[in-house]
Amino acid sequence: MKNFISRYLLLVTFCLLPFLLTGCFEDEVTFKGRAYIADTAYVTVGQEVKEVILLRGVIAGAKVKEAGHSEVATTDANGNYTLPIKVPRVIGLEKAKSYRLQCWYASATQGTVQGTVIHTGAGDEPIMNYAEAKAGDTVEVRDFILHQHTIEEYPGGDSSGGGSSGQ
């Protein structure tokens, strides 16, 4: 009986231990990407006016966050960000999980676009990207493009309080 317990208890312990420890330790998923700012322009084509989105360049100071986590990253002068988030470690086969990344730029603050200080109306409205990753992965995320709202109508027809024109 003693031989049975010592022989099989060790085997069962080593087989079950990974399942018992799953989720007890943390790992990281790292998201890397870039944020850009864009303006709206109106172009006349024949007799028709069309709205065109013009990419102004990278934006420094934008915030990036995964919707279900508290970690926040800020874009650097080149618009790049690195966002590491803590996730439970999984031992064994793991499927990739979906993550919702959000990017926004606080409209009450100033930032820089290619060295020019701007006040943008492209803020406070998060833009979303989706990514899939497993614990321990580093994922290159599709670029965020924050659209600068330049014309906004207010009650009484006043449009002066809207977003900025980059000045």
Check pLDDT > 50 for residue 161: no
pTM score of the predicted model = 0.65
pLDDT category of residue 20 using cuts at 50, 70 and 90? low
Return the structure tokens found at 76. 């650097």
pLDDT category of residue 19 using cuts at 50, 70 and 90? low
CATH number of 24-157: 2.60.40.1120
SS3 of residue 163 by DSSP: coil
pLDDT score at 103: 92
